[in-house]
Amino acid sequence: MWRTLLILTVFLTGGVDARLSATPPGSLQIPPIQGQLIRVQQELLTPDEVIALMNSGKLDRAERAARAAMQAHPESARSRLLLARVLARQGDLMQARAMLAQARALPQWKQQNLGVPYPTPDELDRLVRSDPARSLDVLADVLLALGDDPKAYFLQARAYGELGQWQKGRAALERARALNPGLDFASPSVLAALDQALADELPVEKPDTSLSDVKFGDDGNPVMVQETPWWQRAWVWWTVGILSALAGWFTVSFTRWKKQREVDMRRTISPMNLQLAQEIQATEQQLFMREDAEARRKLGRLRNLQGQVGAWLADPLSFDPPRIQVQFDRLWNASLSDASYAAYAYQQEEAERVAREAAEEARKAAEEKARRDAMPARSESSFSSRDSGSSWSNGSSSSSTDNSGGSSW
């Protein structure tokens, strides 16, 4: 009896070992679908973690996490709700609203009292004035929950204006006007300043002045203007005499100044010309003795500098001896060799590049300042005195439900 039991035990154990030996050690196989589910569960984030990613601006990661949760939990309305909020912040309101409709159709929506959180218009208005970038995220929730609301688009236009995104601001303001042409809820001063800041540049029409010197009577017909007597025009002759005397004095003074200026210029330029002439003669003798490509280039640069000195001498009005001396020394050093000229050319290019960039930055800063100056003051409410901003256009005030977060799906 015991022998029979022992034989059966060995037989059964050997069969199990044979089946296990068919699979090599360390290569335990998992069905593909089960492996995918295990990998999804390992990468799955909690709803609170997805909201943290969304609020920190990492929308791509938040979208991937919400889609992974939706795949792992097809019954979860919360995953679809968070995905809809992420899509709304990415600007895809159509797909976001479709995803929100799917979430509302699932039993979990009512069971857990889910909803899209959004504040009242006046609360959001204060956020627009204090943190316009953050307000755009909250406005995405409003437009997702309430649909196309003119107040939301109006606040969106102001937020974009505060951030300097003028094209997006104009588009939002146009959508607000398409929904509510009068925008009667908006503060008139804020709306006027917003229109001015977001307006496209329009050509200015010049007034027609061709008939500005024609006088007309009360009946609309041109009338003859009586000539002023000569004794009333005597002040004109006095004025002409005084101006003529001043012109004569100025001419004499300018002539004396110009002659003195020419003397000073020649005192400054003569040593430069002498220095150039000696160096040009030495370079020409060097080329006469032996052809040298670098010496020929040097000779060309020296002659160009000689022409520049002549140009300085021909412009006495802008001649400044200290400045001219500094420029001559730099050009003289750059002309003596190819290496020094290459270094000078590089410095000139860098200086021009820096100057161009500085001019462009100054132009952009001036344009941005002009637009921001046209924006309404941040302390001023966006809504008129007749509209307290306590409710949206459809009458709803705020969402009392904010149950989209949590630790489980």
Structure tokens at 12: 């059964």
**What's 407's DSSP letter?**
S
Which of helix, strand or coil describes residue 131? Answer: coil
**Where do runs of H (alpha helix) occur along 290-376?**
293-313, 321-335, 338-374
Q: What per-residue confidence (pLDDT) applies to 66?
A: 92
Q: What per-residue confidence (pLDDT) applies to 214?
A: 47
Q: What per-residue confidence (pLDDT) applies to 63?
A: 94
| Residue 156 identity (one-letter amino acid) | Q
Please choose, from the candidates 163, 166, 164, 171, the residue with its C-alpha nearest in 3D space to the C-alpha of residue 91: 171
Q: At what angle do helices 321-335 and 293-313 cross, to 10 degrees?
A: 170
Residues with Cβ within 8 Å of residue 71, at least 6 apart in sequence:
40
**Residue ranges of the chain with pLDDT lower than 50?**
1-2, 5-42, 201-214
Q: What per-residue confidence (pLDDT) applies to 230?
A: 60
* CA gap 219, 280 in Å, rounded: 82
* CA gap 82, 67 in Å, rounded: 9
Structure tokens at 256: 């004396």
Q: What per-residue confidence (pLDDT) applies to 268?
A: 84
Q: What per-residue confidence (pLDDT) applies to 232?
A: 62
| Span 199-218, pLDDT tens digits | 754 344 444 444 444 455 55
Contact (Cβ atoms closer than 8 angstroms) between residue 294 and residue 283: no
Instruction: Please report, in angstroms and rounded to a whole number, the separation of the first and last CA atoms in the chain.
Output: 58
Kindly report the CA angle at 157 between 152 and 163, in degrees rounded to 5?
125
* CA gap 335, 329 in Å, rounded: 10
